Amino acid sequence: MGSLGMQEIIIIFILALIVFGPRKLPELGKSLGKSLAEFKKASNELKQTWEEEVRLDRERQELSDIMKDDYSGTYNPPEKSDSSQSSDSSEKSNPSD
């Protein structure tokens, strides 16, 4: 299926002229033009909305990845050394105070 040539367009125009008449044809053309303009506007709005949602989803994913990187194993609480553990145990075992 290729595009319409000049002969096909003329035949379609003649058929429309016969079916709808010369008075109704300009009104139909005008309403068809308005419909196409509204459809194009709606499809552009849908495309913009879709692109915005995709962009926001990417940003959320990047933020989530950053948060995972920041909080995954980078903070390790200080561990008690052996000397502090032994002094704690000696204090517990010697309740002379």
pLDDT, tens only, 33-91: 999 999 999 999 999 999 999 999 999 999 888 888 777 655 555 677 665 555 555 55
In this prediction, residue 77 carries a pLDDT of 59
- CA 61 → CA 50, 51, 52, 72, distances in Å? 16, 15, 14, 16
CATH placement of domain 9-70: 1.20.5
In this prediction, residue 92 carries a pLDDT of 53
81 DSSP 8-state letter: P
In this prediction, residue 42 carries a pLDDT of 96
In this prediction, residue 33 carries a pLDDT of 92
In this prediction, residue 56 carries a pLDDT of 95
Count CA atoms closer than 13 A to 89's CA, side-chain side. Answer: 7
Query: What pTM was computed for the model?
Result: 0.48
- CA 38 → CA 25, 32, 43, 44, 66, distances in Å? 20, 10, 9, 10, 42
- Does the pLDDT at position 93 exceed 70? no
In this prediction, residue 46 carries a pLDDT of 96
Q: Where are the domains of the chain?
A: 9-70
Q: Residues 17-27: pLDDT tens digits?
A: 888 888 888 88
